[in-house]
Amino acid sequence: MFAGNHSRNLSRLGALAVAMLASTAAFAQVSDDLVKIGVLTDMNGPASTPTGQGSVTAAQMAVDDFGGRVLGKPISVIVGDHQLKPDIGGAIARRWYDVDQVDLIVDVPVSAVGLAVQNVANEKKKLFITHSTGTADFHGKYCSPYAMQWVFDTRALAVGTAQAVVKRGGDSWFFITDDYAFGHSLERDASTVITANGGKVLGSVKPPLATPDLSSFVLQAQASKAKIIGIAAGPPNNMNEIKTGSEFGVFKGGQQMAALLALITDIHSLGLPAAQGLLLTTSFYWDMDDKTREWSKRYFAKMNRMPTMWQAGVYSSVTTYLNAVKDAGTDEPLKVAAKMREKPIEDFFSRNGKLREDNLMVHDLMLVQVKTPEESKYPWDYYRILAKISGEEAFGPIDPACAMAKK
């Protein structure tokens, strides 16, 4: 009898030891006993308002809301400033992955820096999620199992805006296009959709980046009599063109301007008197529904301004990443990425979201129009939502140039 009890006790102890070892093994799957997330951004330059400290705050909010730990290990957030320079961005990413044992890099405004960081992520076999890199090549010919694009690409904004506007009667366009690859790709993608939907492109002008006086370009667009003046530009030209157009009476004359890239912080900076009537596409608007308002008001309490789509996207992706680490039982990059692709991404930021096999997060967008000062009822009440654009429609099919595409 005693021998039987002793045997049973040994059996229980053995089972307990196995369970403890299994548990320890699960915890040991977190490299360096720490999950480290690096926010690589522009802290002081022209992209610092729509990304910058706001992206850092969004990442930290995600970590805090997750409880600060995953698989029993702490989560930390570190910050780097790439100053919009690809060599600096690449060097920081290399040091973070090699020396600081960073598991995930997020944010990274401007495509040239994003692609530089993507190269390092591929080489080091570590994860990178971009929110403010727009080039569609990121998930096209340069697609990578280690790099994800979360918020937008140039095609989605250009195609989404052009298609929705043409459907609403804006069937003649004239473009003011930044004279470099980003602007050209916006104009090309939008023009293809405009003509495919029965519209016409009457012409375009191409000011160089950061042109101080855009008057002549805006006057040419105005003289075209096109219903829509398409702004295929990023900062600072895009906002200066909209401001100049307002001063020249473009909106009052019956024409509309459609910005292929504009953020709510841009509208705030311009002010409603200058921006009123502007059409644009966005992945996120803080005042869309109860879920967006609840999160954005918490963010506002920390930053004293409402979030851009890029900043809201940082929170969404960090939360999705941490849940995938938890589900995978490890922070091993490809296993985590596979988990991230398994489930729909439905949160305050994303509607009908899905991380595709090319690592593009496809989700619904909105066509919005900037309100008049009279229509706006409270601070940051800037947009009237005109139409929902499905993710499939905006982002389109997987680029066959992506090696990860299903054959």
232-261 per-position pLDDT tens digit: 998 889 999 999 999 999 988 999 999 999
Contacts of 214 (CB under 8 A, 6+ apart): 176, 207, 237, 240, 241, 244
Mean pLDDT of 203-231: 96
Residue with tokens 């009123």: 276
The CATH number for 224's domain is: 3.40.50.2300
Local confidence band at 360 (pLDDT 50, 70, 90 cut-offs): very high
Residue 379 inside a domain? The answer is yes
Mean pLDDT of 371-383: 98
Residue 383 inside a domain? The answer is yes
Mean pLDDT of 122-131: 98
Mean pLDDT of 120-142: 95
- pLDDT over 70, % of the chain: 93
- What pLDDT, on the 0 to 100 scale, is given for residue 12? 53
Residue 399 inside a domain? The answer is no
Residue with tokens 């909010």: 61
317-328 per-position pLDDT tens digit: 999 999 999 999
Tell me, yes or no, whether 178 and 277 share the same domain: yes
pTM: 0.90
Residue 405 inside a domain? The answer is no
Mean pLDDT of 281-304: 98
CB 27 within 8 A of CB 73: yes
Tell me, yes or no, whether 276 and 322 share the same domain: no
Tell me, yes or no, whether 111 and 165 share the same domain: no
Helices 333-342 and 309-328: crossing angle, nearest 10°? 110
Tell me, yes or no, whether 258 and 300 share the same domain: no
Six-digit token string for 200: 């016409």
Please, what is the average pLDDT of the chain?
Answer: 92
Tell me, yes or no, whether 278 and 163 share the same domain: yes
Tell me, yes or no, whether 43 and 97 share the same domain: yes
179 pLDDT above the threshold of 80: yes
- What pLDDT, on the 0 to 100 scale, is given for residue 46? 86
- CA-wise closest residue to 385 among 294, 288, 313, 307: 288
- pLDDT over 90, % of the chain: 85
Local confidence band at 23 (pLDDT 50, 70, 90 cut-offs): very low
Residue 406 inside a domain? The answer is no
Amino acid at 238: N
- What pLDDT, on the 0 to 100 scale, is given for residue 235? 80
- What pLDDT, on the 0 to 100 scale, is given for residue 9? 52
Tell me, yes or no, whether 387 and 256 share the same domain: yes
Residue 23 inside a domain? The answer is no
CB 39 within 8 A of CB 78: yes
29-81 per-position pLDDT tens digit: 898 999 999 999 999 998 999 999 999 999 999 999 999 999 999 999 999 99
CB 193 within 8 A of CB 170: no
Could you check whether the bond before residue 236 is cis, i.e. omega within 30 degrees of 0?
yes
CB-side neighbour CA atoms (13 Å) of 10: 6
26 pLDDT above the threshold of 70: no
19 pLDDT above the threshold of 70: no
Residue 20 inside a domain? The answer is no
Tell me, yes or no, whether 271 and 377 share the same domain: yes
Tell me, yes or no, whether 270 and 295 share the same domain: no
- What pLDDT, on the 0 to 100 scale, is given for residue 4? 52
Between CA 169 and CA 351 the distance in angstroms is: 26
Tell me, yes or no, whether 251 and 385 share the same domain: yes
Mean pLDDT of 283-305: 98
Residue 344 inside a domain? The answer is yes
Q: Which domain holds residue 92?
A: 35-152+289-363
- CA-wise closest residue to 63 among 81, 43, 36, 82: 36
Task: With residue 303 as reference, give the H or E element that holds it.
Answer: helix 290-303
Tell me, yes or no, whether 225 and 93 share the same domain: no
Tell me, yes or no, whether 168 and 85 share the same domain: no
Helices 309-328 and 52-66: crossing angle, nearest 10°? 30
- What pLDDT, on the 0 to 100 scale, is given for residue 182? 84
- What pLDDT, on the 0 to 100 scale, is given for residue 29? 85
27 pLDDT above the threshold of 50: no
22 pLDDT above the threshold of 60: no
Between CA 348 and CA 7 the distance in angstroms is: 55
92 pLDDT above the threshold of 70: yes
Number of domains in the chain: 2
Quick one: CA dihedral 52, 58, 62, 68, positive or negative?
positive
Six-digit token string for 311: 């900043």
Rounded to a whole number of angstroms, the CA Rg of the chain reads: 24
